[in-house]
Amino acid sequence: MLTLQFVPYADIEHLDAQGRIAKLLSIVKDDKIVLMQGRLRPEEETLLIQRTMEQIADEFKGVEICTIFPQEKDLQFLKRIKKEMVKAILGNRDGITIIGPANIVKEIKRDINKIELFTKTTISRPSNIRVKRRTAKKPARRRAKARRRRR
């Protein structure tokens, strides 16, 4: 079973960098995938890597992390200023950050517009789904031979 834990920005807003990383890592070490509102600052991302490396052991292999955020290329000047002001007052809540334990999340593939999360757990097939078995067809020459024999 996969557990996704949502961490709203309000939950980490009051914490400093060390506190934020400690909180996120404690969730990940409980074998849960974190869905965090907003993004970590660059220095927080490196701190997350450092703290992760310090805690690596046989049972904790590290984390997979991925952030997606809206592209702000086409924003008008005034809209951009408005957005920057909101960011300065309320913090950077744009985007979403996914952090998963490496023993569960095998890989997070990201492209400009999508995220693909590959897990290590195998998903079993429900019993009510039947798979039709296909038998390989005999080659044409063998079929003709068999027909001739029957005659």
What are the residues binding other proteins (CB under 8 A)? 41-43, 45-46, 48-50, 52-54, 56, 58, 61-67, 102, 108-112
Q: Which is nearer to other proteins, 13 or 107 (CB)?
A: 107
Closest CB to other proteins among residues 106, 143: 106
Using the structure block, give the residue that is written with the tokens 């490496």.
102
Residues 20, 40 contacting (CB under 8 angstroms):
yes
Cβ at position 75, least distance to other proteins in Å: 16
CA gap 81, 78 in Å, rounded: 5
Q: How far is the CB of 48 from other proteins (least distance, A)?
A: 8
Tokens of 105: 């999340």
How many other C-beta atoms lie within 10 A of the C-beta of residue 28? Answer: 26
Nearer to other proteins, 12 or 25 (CB): 25
Q: Which helix (H) or strand (E) element contains residue 144?
A: helix 140-150
Minimum Å gap between C-beta 143 and other proteins is 41
Work out how close the CB of 72 gets to other proteins at its nearest, in angstroms, rounded to a whole number.
Answer: 13
Q: Are 15 and 88 in contact (CB under 8 A)?
A: no
